[in-house]
A and B are shown apart, each in its own frame.
Chain A
Amino acid sequence: DGGITQSPKYLFRKEGQNVTLSCEQNLNHDAMYWYRQDPGQGLRLIYYSQIVNDFQKGDIAEGYSVSREKKESFPLTVTSAQKNPTAFYLCAVRGGAHTEAFFGQGTRLTVV
């Protein structure tokens, strides 16, 4: 089945912990994105990657880190430096300029 898989769907983090959100795709697309969505709000770009072994900061990268070691995978780590991590996190994949983005089902992260 083709598409984008985000896991887990729900994630709980204790104060001071790092957690990693997974995003895997089998669409063979180069560009991958991580967005944060707060209740009732739009999307804010955290990080994006246009190619393997390269990535750039988005608008709200502080407290987050990513890696892009494989074309299929773009994991996002929410570090303890992110003071307000409770949000809905969305991964997206895109084939190229002027093409649409495809989104995963999202991970809801809650700090307990």
Chain B
Amino acid sequence: GNSVTQMEGPVTLSEEAFLTINCTYTATGYPSLFWYVQYPGEGLQLLLKATKADDKGSNKGFEATYRKETTSFHLEKGSVQVSDSAVYFCALSVRTGANNLFFGTGTRLTVIP
């Protein structure tokens, strides 16, 4: 089947610390992979994506590399800011099936000054 497993939170970091949020997946076929961010009281926004193996998605200092051999798509940022405090969702989509979009459970990040 298709599923996404995310690192459980919450994660609390000091400003300028290094961030890693782990995401692994199982999928039928070759999925596209996404990271979304949700700020309090808002909908989800696409943060970055990768559509094939070894692709690196990047945006706003965040990066994630599509690793087919380890079925992973870990989110990283070298130096977090207070404004990065949010909930982060890993997701995948596959070509087949009526419902082909799957989300992880989300990881809450809090960055303290």
Contacts and interface: CB of A to CB of B under 8 A. Distances in A.
Contact of A42 (B98, B101, B104): B104
Contacts of B106: 41-43
Q: What is the size category of the interface that chain A forms with chain B?
A: 20 to 34
B89 interface: yes
A97 B99 contact: no
A12 B108 CA distance: 27
Interface string B9-51: 0000000000000000000000110101000011111100101
Interface in A83-112: 90, 92, 94, 97-106, 108
Interface in B68-111: 89, 91, 93-96, 98-101, 103-106, 108
Nearest to A45: B99
A105 B42 contact: yes
A48 B93 CA distance: 14
Nearest to A58: B99
Given A33-B101, A42-B89, A42-B105, A97 B41 contact: no
B103 A56 contact: no
Given A103-B45, A106-B42, 19 more contacts: A41-B106, A42-B89, A42-B103, A42-B104, A50-B98, A56-B99, A58-B99, A94-B101, A97-B95, A98-B32, A99-B32, A100-B34, A101-B44, A101-B46, A101-B101, A102-B46, A105-B42, A105-B43, A106-B43
